[in-house]
Structure 1
């Protein structure tokens, strides 16, 4: 959830864009839980302090830049869905790899269920 949704209960297209960036990260990491190893409270504190999930080692810079554009602190500075579609079209039409699965480090994203089980929401 976006910072404004978490702290101010404000939901908008811009907060949906934030969530879409998280979804892209989940897809790129083959279904891993976002903010690996962090509790919900830790995520809220970290996001407030400007933390953004790091670029997965197997993810292209172009794809990660799209994610980061979704996670801008100021909602009006985030990409629009139209911008995201255009950026993805350009990225996917290029000859460069979006993901390099040979670099996928499964250990970075495994055992997240144990963290989620410890936390009761």
Structure 2
């Protein structure tokens, strides 16, 4: 007679994602590209230029968006339960676009 093995609870195969991850990556990519460009074009004064100037609005907008997505995602995670599942930062195949948050509930799927 074989000893019975204790059954392990099933692991969740779906990665819920990280709120704001793609917006955060885009902000960091833009910021790093600007820093590299300035340091290359101004080897002696690059650090000073970076210290004395702000990122352009087009870059800071990505930071602002990432912060908002992270905060909303955290709140949605707090609301998650056995009857509500939240997925974050889902890719839209064939495009560069993504869906920030998806809530799956017994009453339907809600795209946020």
Query: Structure 2-normalised TM-score?
Result: 0.30
Higher RCO (Cα < 8 Å, 6 or more apart): 1
TM-score (norm. length: structure 1): 0.28
Query: Greater share of helix residues, 1 or 2?
Result: 1
